[in-house]
Amino acid sequence: MPENCAADRLCPSNLSADLLLLPVVAYPGSARALNHSSIFGISLGGAVVFLALLLALLRWKTRGQKPPSELLSATSASKSSTVEPASTEELLGKKTKEPLSINIATFEHPLLRLTLADILKATENFSKAHVIGDGGFGTVYRAVLSGGGKVAVKRLTGGGGHLQGDREFLAEMETIGKVNHRHLVPLLGYCVFNDERFLIYEYMEKGSLDLWLRNRADAAEALRWPVRLRICLGAARGLAFLHHGFVPHIIHRDMKSSNILLDRDFQPRVSDFGLARIISACETHVSTDLAGTFGYIPPEYGQTMKATAKGDVYSFGVVALELLTGRPRRGRRRAREGETWKLGGVFDACLPAAGAPREQMRRVLAVAVACTADEPWKRPTMLEVVRLLKEIDLLVADPPPPSPEPVHAAHDVNKNFYQADVLLW
């Protein structure tokens, strides 16, 4: 190896001397020319690389971008799209292709945010003449917005500083504000002013089911059996949506007849999610207070203090019994062994006494009894309740003549479906 190879100690020994000498060979009189040439070459190469990168970036952006027409159609499609309901097989583990009758629609319009001045004007300074409901966690006012639209304004009790008022507000916003269902009362907007919280709902013209069952002289004419069955099935669908429509599940915790509102066509809407809790699919919510309304609270709540979907099922069963009997919940006692009762003494006197409606009533009673079983595991899910009520709704032909034997206290619900004790009302 030549002695003048100064780079020898800087380079690997396996490289040849010729290669090592290439960078350090000097040509007389060419230093300045070599310097200019190097600068020009480096500049030209950098410009070429920069242009190539810029061209590649532009092509990548162009390929990932949709034309305005495609973008507009995609936006329209996303607004009008609905989430397909899960199949009964997926949610119940049964081999059936029957789809669930739970329609889910995404919330397409942003919630209105009203000012306190808007609320005061719409309710005429919270006039008592505008009160249409009072209880639970707030007072509900009938209101007319500046545009002329009727709404229901719920003023949360205790304001935002109250712990449960805050929880109610967040639960309402997280549940109704995100998803709409045809059997849930739509949340239209809200108002926040200092510690005050207001929720704005769609106005339901016919009021609550509780008012019709208790205080309306024309209830017998308006709430004929087909209407009652429709209300029962619609409320079941709304509650089934809360339980099974999406994950995490939603538990209402205060299902009762006064929280079932009716629109002008007597279509039911489940309302008042102030006690709603979002829980994971496999967990229950442990509460430090016993939420709900006396008469609708399942027996296990007093011991476990856990809100469960089966607790909502129990409350729904009470509502179904109210629809059948026309009487409010007054407590319960277990039927004594061997005790019998007559159906004529259970059903509302204004309901049909024979024919297909009577058979429908008998079957709805069996479902209601199953829902109000003492043990939660004996109660059906709301999906199963919807399926049974749909089958009952399709029963239009005259049934076979009833057996002359009395109905015993141990009642078989839908043959081998559920066993439950009969409740005397």
Round to whole Å and give the CA distance between 233 and 368. 12
At 47, phi and psi to the nearest 5? -65, -40
3-class secondary structure, 75: helix
Give residue 326's identity as a one-letter amino acid code: G
Round to whole Å and give the CA distance between 179 and 295. 30
Q: Which of 134, 210, 218, 254 is catalytic?
A: 254
- To the nearest 10 degrees (0 to 180), the angle between helices 309-325 and 382-393 is 30
Question: Does 61 belong to an annotated binding site?
Answer: no
Rg (CA), the chain: 35
147-153 — which CB contacts under 8 Å span 24+ positions? 150/203, 151/122, 151/188, 151/200, 151/201, 151/202, 151/203, 152/200, 152/201, 152/202, 152/203, 152/204, 153/119, 153/122, 153/123, 153/198, 153/199, 153/200, 153/201
71-91: burial string, b at 16+ Cβ within 10 Å, e else: eeeeeeeeeeeeeebbebeeb
% helix / strand / coil in the chain, to the nearest 5? 40, 20, 40
195 in catalytic set: no
Contacts of 172 by beta carbon, 8 Å cutoff, 6+ apart: 187, 190, 199, 273, 274, 276
Q: CA angle 191-195-201, nearest 5°? A: 30
Q: Is the peptide bond before 85 cis (omega within 30 degrees of 0)?
A: no
Task: List, as one string, the DSSP characters of 240-303.
Answer: HHHHHSSSSEEE-S---GGGEEE-TT--EEE---TT-EEE-TT--EE-SS--S-TTTS-TTHHH
Q: How many CB atoms lie within 10 A of CB 306?
A: 17
Round to whole Å and give the CA distance between 412 and 418. 7
**Which residue in this structure is represented by tokens 């499609």?**
77
Give residue 187's identity as a one-letter amino acid code: L
Instruction: Determine which helix (DSSP H) or strand (DSSP E) holds 140, and give its type and residue range.
Output: strand 138-144
Q: CA angle 373-376-378, nearest 5°? A: 60
Q: Please give the positions annotated as active site.
A: 254
Binding-site residue ranges: 154
Binding-site residue ranges for ATP: 154
